[in-house]
Structure 1
């Protein structure tokens, strides 16, 4: 399998510019997955940066991590596996938006697991600096959901 670094670099730039959390592409037997978060985020997640992108295990792509803008703040992680929802219903407004001030205990999102709607509350006060997943995305345990900028 020949790796076209120009094509991969262009995909990384597209992920950066669009602000999406993840991109997966498959062409024949070749596939690549680029994410803006790391599955190895610190368990304390104090003063965490943007979760760095991880890519299809290519050491040459590690340099791409330095290209992303960093957001200083508290990274709130998913406490469970499930489906991420930005609102309590399909026709309702999102619970939070980037730039919105939240207080500890405010509901940030809903994670649906085993047909149960689980409200996820802010672990601290702050301003929503980033939302790392899209409505309807599947999330994993300890996956970054939000970056809260401390005020």
Structure 2
């Protein structure tokens, strides 16, 4: 990035209400941060320039056992029978569209592989299928409710 462009960016930041500006280009990355006027008397500006570097955020990953234990502790006791559990985090819908007939109702027989509900995750509608045949005895989630991974959605016998 040439110095004229850099000076123009610095002037833009200093004259505007923004406190920080970051621009990434092929040659590198420029970050201009306006100093907090309350922190120093002189209202100075700092600038950092770095070569492009791919950095992954460091996030502590809990073990599968810890996640399962926390999920089991947070969920209500499951009724006897087999639970069809949510395979993902998302929004639970009983029908394929508003006003449509629910895919599965209490007392309805379902076959393994038959769609019983829809979970919306990241704007994608995912049909959730029964993992075994049986009769729906209880619906464990409300329509439009957010569901967690492993949360029971239906009880079948």
- TM-score, L = length of structure 2: 0.52
Aligned to 2:117: 109
Match of 2:90 among 82, 103, 106: 82
The ranges of structure 1 where at least 4 consecutive aligned residues each deviate by more than 3 angstroms after the TM superposition are none
Say if 2:155 is the partner of 1:134.
Answer: no
Q: Which has the higher contact order (CA 8 A, sep 6+)?
A: 1
Between the aligned partners of 1:39 and 1:99, the Cα distance in structure 2 is 28
Once the two structures are TM-superposed, the CA of residue 72 in structure 1 deviates from its matched residue by 2.4
- Which consecutive residues of structure 1, in runs of 5 or more, have no partner in the other structure? 1-37, 42-50, 53-69
Aligned to 1:39: 71
- Which consecutive residues of structure 2, in runs of 5 or more, have no partner in the other structure? 1-69
Whether contact under 8 Å (1:71, 1:129) holds in the other structure is no
- TM-score, L = length of structure 1: 0.54
Q: How many residue pairs are counted as aligned between the two chains? A: 87
Once the two structures are TM-superposed, the CA of residue 71 in structure 1 deviates from its matched residue by 4.0
Q: In the TM superposition, what whole-angstrom CA distance separates every residue of 1:116-147 from its partner, at most 9, and x where no partner exists?
A: 00000000000001110010000000011011
Between the aligned partners of 1:123 and 1:106, the Cα distance in structure 2 is 8
